[in-house]
Structures are given as C-alpha cells and as structure tokens.
Structure 1
Amino acid sequence: MPIDNPSDYSNDNERTVFIPNPSGRAPTPKTSPALPPYQSPLSNDPHNQQNQYSNNSSYSPAQHIVQSGINPLVAAASGLIALPAQLSIMPTHDNVENLRSQVLEKIKAYENNARAAGIETDINYTARYVICTFIDEAVLNTIWGSDSPWTRQSLLSTLHNEANGGETFFVIIDRLLQDPNGNIDLLELMFICISLGFKGRYAVMDRGYEKLEELRNVVFNHIRRRRGDFPQALSPHWQSQSDIKKPLRNYVPLWVVTAVASALLLVI
C-alpha cells in the first residue's frame, strides 16, 4: 500500500522554501525521531519491478562521491538524484503505487542522512522540495506515470502540500542567487537537476530551452567562481533545439557525472 500519511516524514509546509537569514544566525534545527535504515527500493529490471534489492543494513552514499568534492547535500541525496534517469528509461511499471511508497521511504533515508551530516533544517526542507519536484516531473513524463495515481498523489503534494513545483523550483533559484556563495550547496543540487533534464516551467515556455540554458549558465558560473574550474564532461557543444527532450548534458562537470554514476550503482 502507498504511504499517504505526511506525518510519517519531517513535514512542515511553512519551511517549503529556504530564505537566506540576513542576521547570519543559523535556524534552530528541529528534533525528529530516528528514521529506519535505508533499503534500496527500485529494481532496474522493468519486468520485475516489485522485487527489492539486496537488504543492505544501512544507506550510506558511496564514499568516493564525498571524496571527489561533492557537497554534503548532494552526497546525502545522491541516490534520489539518480532516480529520474533510471525511471525515465522504464518502458512500463506494473505497480506505480508501490514505487511511490518506496521512493517516499528513500526520501526518509535522505532526511536521515542530511541530519546526520549536520545540514540545517531549512536547507534540508528546500532540498527535499527540489528533489520531490525533480522526481515527480520524471515520473509524470513517462507513459506509465502520466496515467497513474502519481498524478493525484505526487511526492510534492504529499510532503509539501503543493503542486506548483515546476514554477517554485525557479523561484527558489532566484532567491538563492541573491547570495550564491552562502547558498552554493543548494545551487549545486539544483544545477545537477537541470543538467540531468529537469525543465519545469520552461518545458512549455516559448524558447524555453534557450532560456533554461541561459539560467543554467548563470548558476554554472557562480559555482565555478566558488569552486574553481573543473573538468568538463560529455559533449563540448550545446545540443540542438530539436534534441529538447534529452537531458541537458553539455558542459556538465565531471563530478556530476561521477556522482550520478556512483549513485546509480547504489540502486542497481
């Protein structure tokens, strides 16, 4: 049965969007009960999607992701970041309600990891909002997801009581860009989502692909100024507009590719 009770998670609709604290004081984190250990939820075999993976005793992102310089927010969310790429290539899914339940459990595990890594509560909530929006879009863009209970019970509506993630995602970016150095971890997370195919409101906007690329370049340049230059991966050229349905992979930093590839190993 799907998990429909948002109280099972760290749900607080007033903390949906992180707003930088002008006083410079970190918000007081909430205390939450310990979450159960993570067990990998997804089968990479679309013909056997109800099967669980091997029962790992706990969820810990691959150590080399952290060692390669990924920020702790991305490290905690690495398995979730990898899900949209995996889900988008599934031609069918026999039990979408069960899939949704499993993803919600994985979000629980992410929150546990984020707290353990000392990530501030407001940042954690905003990251969860971003992740839910990213995964929801990937599922609803599939044939099997667009005609499923997910349309009525998205991750975002379940955990944040909202259904406007495709717009709010970019409102969050605009706010974070007011202080890019102070919000670099969230900006990196959102840059990865865009680089791996998230489009949100730009999917239906006139010249949306070009405008999204412009925004992605803005975020990229802020990250580069803060983190320094890093190797570029994949295609050295922009994709053509006719390739709009493919992920935005050009000029993706090598650490992004490493992070997602490593995260996929965690769920395969």
Structure 2
Amino acid sequence: MDETATPERTQFDQMLFEEPEATPAVDDDTFRLQGFEDNRLVHAATPLLGLVIRIRRLAAFDQVPTLYQQVVDDITAIDRSLIEQGYERPTVVAYRYVLCALIDEAVLGTDWGAYSIWSQHSLLSRFHNETWGGEKVFAILSRMEQSPERYRDMLEFIYLALCLGFEGRYKVMDNGRDEYERIINGLYRQIETWRAPDREQSLGSALDHVIPARNRLRRGFPIWGLGGLFLVAMGTVYTLYSMALDERMKDLLSVLDQLPT
C-alpha cells in the first residue's frame, strides 16, 4: 500500500481488501474478473464492484461518511482515467451513472445505509443531481443495445451490474422479476455473440449468474462470482488522482442524446 496513504484511506482499503471473520477465505492470491479481463470499464470499477459484494454482506457499519467520501474520490479518479484512455465523454457519464446507481442501491438496501448520510446525499445526487436511477439505467441499456458493436464494454458492464443484483425499477414493479430476467437473458445472448467464439466455454446460463434478492446477505460470496464472471481483484489499490469535480454534469438525458446510434 502507498506509504502516504491516510488513516481514512487505510480504513477504506481494509474494508475493500481484508476478509471479515464471517466471510469464507478465497484461495486465489488476487480476485480476477474472468472473461472480462480486456474490458477497461470493468477493470476500472473492479474494487468498487468488490465493495458492492461486501456492502450487501454487512449487517452493520459505522463509518459511512468515510466510506462515502472515498467512493466519491474513486469515482472521480475513474472518470478522469477513462477520459484519458480515450473513451467518449457521453459514454463515461453513462458508465458513471450506472456505477453510482449500483452502489447507491446496495448501500440504501442495508439497514445501516438507509438512515445514513448516504440517504441524503446519494452518489447519483452528487454526480448527476438525481436521487434514483432505477429508470435511467435501463434507458441507457436500451439506447446502447441499438449499437452493440460500439458499446460492447458498456453492455458487459451493465450485465455485470445486473448480475451483482441491481434491479432498479423492477424491484418495485408487480411481476417485475419476469421482465428483469428477460432483460438479463437478452443481454447475455448479445454478449455471447462476441465472447463465446473466443473461448472454449460460454458464459453458462445467464440467470445462474444472478444473486437472488432475498439471499444476497446470507449466502456469502456467490458461487457464480467466484467461478465465473467476476473474482474481484483485491490485491492492489486502485490509484487515486485526488481530483475534485470540475463541473456538475448535465442531466443524463441530454447526455444520452449525444450518444451515436
């Protein structure tokens, strides 16, 4: 770990990388995102995806303000890094929106997060001036599915977010689970068209990858996560740039209008 790391950063890293007593140990020296190693959007968010898994497992957590600020710093760093790597700004904004919505839903779905500072200042409100992303995440997905070759990385990232348990509007809809599973299956089939020919085995069954909503806090690390889509890297700390936001993002709908189709 960086010798200049602050106590707050160290505490955050411990939450990301140290195994709690109740969590089964993993044999691998580092977690890996198997099957998506070449996806830079997935790679950039790997520590935060691991955080989502751990958040869903935590029955209590008393350092929410510290966690919140470190996640904000990490997202800001990721945003800058992806722009430097050449991703189009509208794509990065859409990516950040999905990432914020995923983390917000995980935190606010816990007892300790629902009544914390996070409920008053969500990541979506911080970065996008919105309070709930349950609708727009699927609007982003729908738009990008129109140009799958152009938005492969984003489609794979959204698929991973859904497998991690993001439900959005379908969590509160009557019979929403059926539509949710239909979306995951459709996205899975798209990804298979470009992923399966490159390896001996396919992704497997799409719905086998999804963590059941009622069991996410009780099952430990999901088997599909350990053996399939993502074994999340916990060996190294994602490099921070310590950059503040230069501007407030425009409303996501106006950004989506810029996305080529």
User: What TM-score comes out, normalization by structure 1 length?
Assistant: 0.68
Question: In 2, distance between residues paired with 1:95 and 1:240?
Answer: 29
Segment of structure 1 superposing worse, 210-219 or 130-139: 210-219
Q: What letter matches 2:54 in structure 1?
A: Q
| Cα RMSD, aligned residues only | 3.6
Q: Using CA pairs below 8 Å that are at least 6 residues apart, which structure has the higher relative contact order?
A: 2
Alignment of 1:104-119 (within 5 A): 104-119=72-87
Cα distance change, pair 67–222 in 1 and its aligned pair in 2 (3 A) = closer
Question: In 1, distance between residues paired with 2:110 and 2:155?
Answer: 27
Question: Shift of the alpha carbon at 1:254?
Answer: 5.8
Cα distance change, pair 238–97 in 1 and its aligned pair in 2 (3 A) = same
CA contact (8 A) 1:84 1:135 kept: yes
Q: Decide which of 8, 11, 15 is 1:44's aligned counterpart.
A: 15
Specify the SS of the correspondent of 1:256.
Answer: coil
Specify the SS of the correspondent of 1:110.
Answer: helix
Q: Decide which of 192, 199, 206 is 2:167's aligned counterpart.
A: 199
Cα distance change, pair 142–182 in 1 and its aligned pair in 2 (3 A) = same
Matched, 1:93 2:61: yes
Question: Shift of the alpha carbon at 1:205?
Answer: 1.2
Cα distance change, pair 250–171 in 1 and its aligned pair in 2 (3 A) = farther
Q: What letter matches 2:107 in structure 1?
A: V
Specify the SS of the correspondent of 2:141.
Answer: helix
CA contact (8 A) 1:233 1:253 kept: no
Matched, 1:211 2:179: yes
Q: What letter matches 1:92 in structure 2?
A: A
Alignment of 1:1-268 (within 5 A): 41-44=12-15, 69-229=37-197, 231=201, 238=208, 243-246=212-215, 256-258=229-231, 261-262=232-233, 264-266=234-236
Question: In 2, distance between residues paired with 1:240 and 1:95?
Answer: 29
Question: Shift of the alpha carbon at 1:148?
Answer: 0.9
Question: Shift of the alpha carbon at 1:95?
Answer: 2.3
Specify the SS of the correspondent of 1:137.
Answer: helix
Specify the SS of the correspondent of 1:70.
Answer: coil
Question: In 2, distance between residues paired with 1:215 and 1:250?
Answer: 22
Q: How many residues end up aligned between the 2 structures?
A: 212
2:257 — aligned with what?
none
- Structure 1: stretches of 5+ with no match in the other structure: 1-36, 50-61
CA contact (8 A) 2:108 2:119 kept: yes
Question: Shift of the alpha carbon at 1:42?
Answer: 4.0
User: What TM-score comes out, normalization by structure 2 length?
Assistant: 0.69
- Structure 2: stretches of 5+ with no match in the other structure: 21-29, 217-221, 238-261
Question: Shift of the alpha carbon at 1:109?
Answer: 2.0
Question: In 2, distance between residues paired with 1:74 and 1:191?
Answer: 10
Question: Shift of the alpha carbon at 1:251?
Answer: 7.2
CA contact (8 A) 2:159 2:184 kept: yes
Cα distance change, pair 44–233 in 1 and its aligned pair in 2 (3 A) = farther
Cα distance change, pair 251–44 in 1 and its aligned pair in 2 (3 A) = closer
Cα distance change, pair 164–237 in 1 and its aligned pair in 2 (3 A) = closer
Question: Shift of the alpha carbon at 1:73?
Answer: 1.4
Query: How high is the sequence identity, in percent, across the aligned residues?
Result: 31
Question: Shift of the alpha carbon at 1:79?
Answer: 1.6
Question: Shift of the alpha carbon at 1:110?
Answer: 1.2
Segment of structure 1 superposing worse, 135-144 or 169-178: 169-178
